[in-house]
Every structure is written in C-alpha cells, then in structure tokens.
C-alpha cells in the first residue's frame, strides 16, 4: 500500500524516500501530533517501537479492511442465484450513492460556513480600522470571535458536519400549502454541546449577508440522533464529555480508536456583542457579490438543540448568550 502511495517499485527506490522526522515521532508520543494514512513512516532511532509508525499501520490496516469488505460485497455468494446477486449489488450501490449524496451535502454546508466566516473576519477588520480608537473592545471581540470560528471549522472536516434526512413534507409557504423537500437536521451526539450553537450563529449570519449556497433548502430540527461516527484526529475539546464517558465504558482503547489529537483547543463563550449588527455592517456582501439570499427557512444550523421536543422549523434568529468571551478549560 505504501509502494502504491509513493510510486516506488523496489527497495532501492527508497534511497530517495523522505521519512517523518524525529520531531513528528516525539510529538506523536506526547499526544501532540497524529499521522494520516498518507503520512511518511519514521525511520529514525527507535523506529521499531515508533508510535507514529504504529498509527500509520493501523490506518493502513483499516483501509485494507474497507477494501476487502467492498470486494466481498461484489462477489457472488454460495447458493446465490444470478438474480439475487444482481439485486444485492444494486442495493449496495444505491446505499453507497446515498452516502455520497450525504457527504456532498455536508461538504457544501462546511464550504458555505467557511465562506461566511472568512467574509466576516474581513468585514470586522475593516470596521476595526475605520473606528480607530472608538469601540476598541467591541470591535476586537468581534474579530477574535470570527477568527476563533474559522479555527474551529479548520479542525472540523466534512465528516464532522451534522447529518440530514431528506423527505417530502406539506408546509404552508406564503399562505399556500405546498409539498417541499425538507432536510431534517439530526443530533450529532459526539460533538461538544457548544458547537451546535456556534454553527447556528454562522448559518444565520450567512443567510442575512447572502452568502452563496448550493441550493435553497428548508431545514427543520428534529430530536433524533444521527449515526455518523466522528472522523479521526480531532482535538479532545470538540467532543461531548458525556458521549466520551459513555463510549469509554465500552471501549477502553477509544482514544486510540478515534486517534484523538493531543492538541489543546479551547472552546469559547462568545458574547452577544461579538455578533450583533454584523449583518447590518455587512450590507449583504463586502466584495460586490449580489447573490439571491438563501431561501432556507432557518437552520442550516446544526444539530444539538435540547430545547426542541418536537420537530421545529428553524426560521428564527440565532440568539447568542449574554455572557462574556472567556476560555473554557477544555483540552
């Protein structure tokens, strides 16, 4: 698998191999760095017991297992007729295509959020420069809030976005009963409770400042948990403490299974002053774009909202709490 990834065909080719550094290996040992499947192996002192190499081998083993499972699904089983075999393969392909569509929606959601955050950082910095010595604390808080959200999104890959179910539903639109496609936002149980509110603020700001979206979508929030597993290599601070506690009770090696990063990433309490009037200052778009406002009835907002006992249409405005910005002691 490593040969295929590097393009090397013989052992002699590895003369030109650039292995991971001793710093990488030591950082991994201390829980401050984690390799990905395409990372280079470490060949320095202690390579036989290298935690860096061990993690890469586990990732490769997981990839091999996935490939084997995919291969087996496309093999005809004993005593299976040709018709049964074709029907089973077609069902599997439909499931895989559905998964691809869900991933595409998550990717679009993340890209839209990142575009909103980047634009708001730019707007907030311009406002800070224009005001000069006026409103220094408020302007600085806004810049820091949006920069924090940008750093958070950088650490949350596509797979970390909330899942959605799509179905038809009768909704009254401008007084007319209409059948529309509804995206039901599912609870993401493994994520820290604050993250859902962060994402809700970003989505609400994006709608009001006309951040371009892939399509107009109606979203409702439902009290149902999604079954997507967390992607690997996330900082410990983005996980729900309750979820970790429950999962660790069944899996003593959960942290290694998830490849939880040792990076210290502290979630913040964001004050309302960090967000209020940002949409007015934006005036729709700061760079001349004049796209149509997204016609979502609320929440591209994320998932965890414990106040929703029943499905609710998320067409309200996000209301950040009135506490001050401060760091939570979350690693």
Q: Measuring CA to CA, how many Å separate 5 from each of 10, 69, 302?
A: 13, 21, 36
User: Which DSSP symbol is given to 42?
Assistant: B
| Per-residue pLDDT, 182 | 74
Question: Do residues 118 and 146 lie in contact, with contact meaning Cβ atoms separated by under 8 Å?
Answer: no
- At residue 285 the predicted structure's pLDDT band, cuts being 50, 70 and 90, is very low
Structure-model confidence comparison of residues 325 and 83, the more confident one: 83
25-37 pLDDT, tens digit each: 888 888 777 787 6
Reduced to 3 states (helix: H, G, I; strand: E, B; else coil), residue 188 is coil
| Per-residue pLDDT, 149 | 93
Q: Which residues in the chain belong to E strands, given as ranges?
A: 164-173, 176-187, 218-225, 268-269, 312-313, 326-327
Rounded to whole angstroms, the Cα distance separating 148 from 154 reads 10
| Per-residue pLDDT, 239 | 92
Strand pairing report for 312-313 and 164-173: unpaired
Q: Which of 213, 173, 181 is nearest to 293 (CA)?
A: 213
For the chain, percent of residues with pLDDT exceeding 70:
72
**Burial of residue 265 (number of CB atoms within 10 Å: 0-12, 13-18, 19+):** middle
244-258 pLDDT, tens digit each: 999 889 888 888 878
Q: Where are the domains of the chain?
A: 2-73, 113-327
Rounded to whole angstroms, the Cα distance separating 35 from 33 reads 7
- At residue 151 the predicted structure's pLDDT band, cuts being 50, 70 and 90, is very high
Reduced to 3 states (helix: H, G, I; strand: E, B; else coil), residue 220 is strand
Asked whether the whole model's pTM tops 0.85, one would answer: no
Structure tokens at 208: 């009001």
Question: Do residues 39 and 20 lie in contact, with contact meaning Cβ atoms separated by under 8 Å?
Answer: yes
- Inter-axis angle of helices 193-208 and 82-131, nearest 10: 70
User: Which DSSP symbol is given to 100?
Assistant: H
Number of neighbouring beta carbons within 10 Å of residue 180: 13
Rounded to whole angstroms, the Cα distance separating 244 from 248 reads 6
- Judged by average pLDDT, the poorest of 31-45, 46-60, 128-142, 298-312 is 298-312
| 197 has pLDDT over 50 | yes
Cross-strand bridge partners of residue 221? 185, 312
Reduced to 3 states (helix: H, G, I; strand: E, B; else coil), residue 249 is coil
Reduced to 3 states (helix: H, G, I; strand: E, B; else coil), residue 41 is coil
Average pLDDT value over all residues in the chain: 74
293-303 pLDDT, tens digit each: 333 333 344 44
Phi, psi of 157, deg, nearest 5? -70, 180
């Amino acid at each position: 698998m490593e040969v295929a990834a590097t393009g090397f065909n013989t052992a002699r080719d590895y003369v030109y191999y650039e292995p991971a550094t001793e710093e990488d290996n030591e950082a991994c040992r201390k829980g401050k760095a984690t390799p990905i499947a395409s990372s280079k192996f470490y060949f320095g002192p202690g390579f036989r017991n290298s935690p860096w190499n061990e993690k890469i081998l586990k990732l490769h083993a997981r990839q091999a297992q996935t490939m084997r499972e995919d291969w087996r699904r496309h093999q005809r089983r004993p005593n299976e007729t040709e018709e049964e075999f074709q029907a089973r393969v077609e069902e599997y392909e439909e499931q895989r295509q559905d998964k691809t569509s869900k991933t595409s929606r998550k990717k679009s959601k993340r890209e839209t959020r990142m575009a909103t955050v980047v634009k708001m950082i730019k707007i907030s910095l311009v406002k800070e420069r224009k005001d000069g010595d006026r409103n220094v604390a408020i302007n600085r808080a806004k810049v820091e809030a949006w920069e924090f959200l940008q750093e958070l999104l950088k650490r949350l890959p596509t797979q970390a976005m909330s899942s959605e179910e799509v179905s038809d539903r009768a909704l009254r639109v401008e007084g007319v009963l209409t059948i529309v496609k509804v995206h039901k936002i599912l609870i993401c149980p493994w994520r820290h409770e604050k993250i859902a509110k962060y994402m809700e603020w970003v989505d609400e700001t994006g709608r009001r400042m006309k951040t371009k979206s892939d399509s107009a979508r109606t979203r409702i929030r439902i009290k149902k948990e999604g079954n997507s597993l967390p992607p690997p290599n996330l900082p410990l601070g983005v996980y729900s403490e309750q979820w970790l506690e429950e999962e660790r009770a069944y899996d003593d090696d959960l942290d290694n299974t998830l490849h939880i990063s040792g990076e210290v990433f502290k979630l913040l309490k964001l004050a309302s002053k960090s967000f209020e009037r940002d949409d007015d200052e934006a005036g729709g778009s700061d760079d001349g774009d004049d796209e149509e406002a997204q016609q979502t009835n609320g929440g591209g907002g994320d998932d965890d909202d414990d106040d929703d006992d029943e499905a609710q249409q998320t067409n309200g405005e996000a209301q950040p709490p009135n506490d001050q910005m401060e760091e939570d002691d979350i690693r």
